[in-house]
A and B are shown apart, each in its own frame.
Chain A
Amino acid sequence: MLNILWPIFIIISIIYAFFSGNIENINDAIFSSTEDAVNLTITLLGMTCLWSGIVEIASNTVIIKYLSMLLNPIVKFLFPKVKKGGKAYDNIIMNIIANILGLGNAATPLGLQAMTELQKENKEKSKLSNEMMMLIVLNTASLQIIPTTVIAIRTSLGSSEPTKIIFPVWISTFCAGFVAIFMTKLIIKIEENKK
Chain B
Amino acid sequence: MKIINYISIIAMPLVILIIVSRGLKERISVFDVFLKGARDGIEITIKIFPTLVGLFVAIGLLRSSGILDFITKLISPILIMFQFPGEIVPLALLRPISGSASMAVATDIMAQNGVDSFVGVVASVIMGATETTLYTIAVYSSSVRIKNTRKILIASLMADLTGVIVSIVICKLIFFA
On whether the two chains bind one another, the answer is yes
The residues of A with any CB-CB pair to B shorter than 8 Å are 1-3, 5-6, 9-10, 12-14, 16-17, 20, 22, 25-26, 28-30, 32-34, 36-38, 40-41, 44-45, 48-58, 60-63, 101-103, 105-106, 108-109, 111-113, 115-116, 118-119, 122, 125-128, 132-133, 135-137, 139-142, 144, 146-155, 157-169, 171-173, 175-180, 183-184, 186-187, 191
Q: Is the CB of B133 within 8 A of A52?
A: no
Query: Can you name the residue of chain A whose Cβ is closest to the Cβ of B14?
Result: A101
- Decide if A103 touches B156 in the complex (CB within 8 Å): no
10 new A-B contacts, CB < 8 A, other than A149-B103, A176-B160, A176-B163, are: A17-B67, A30-B60, A52-B40, A57-B37, A154-B124, A168-B129, A168-B170, A172-B129, A180-B159, A191-B150
Cβ of B83 within 8 Å of any chain A Cβ, yes or no, is: no
Task: Tell me, yes or no, whether B138 is within 8 Å of chain A by CB.
Answer: yes
Specify which chain A residues have a CB less than 8 angstroms from the CB of B138 in the assembled complex: 2
Main secondary structure of the interface of B (DSSP, over half): helix
Q: How large is the interface on B (under 10, 10 to 19, 20 to 34, 35 or more residues)?
A: 35 or more
Contact partner of B20 among A57, A159, A178, CB < 8 A?
A: A57
Give the residue name and chain of the B residue nearest to A64 (CB): B19
Could you list 25 examples of A-B contacts with CB < 8 Å?
Answer: A16-B70, A38-B53, A48-B41, A50-B38, A52-B39, A53-B34, A53-B36, A53-B41, A56-B34, A56-B36, A57-B20, A57-B23, A57-B30, A101-B15, A115-B141, A116-B40, A136-B140, A147-B129, A153-B124, A157-B111, A172-B170, A173-B128, A180-B156, A187-B150, A187-B152
In whole angstroms, what is the CA distance A41 to B154 when docked?
Answer: 27
| Residue B11 lies at the interface, judged by CB distance under 8 Å to chain A | yes
Smallest CB-CB A-B distances: 9 pairs: A56-B37, A33-B60, A147-B128, A49-B41, A176-B163, A172-B129, A183-B155, A53-B38, A180-B159
Binding site of A, secondary structure by majority: helix, strand, loop or mixed?
A: helix
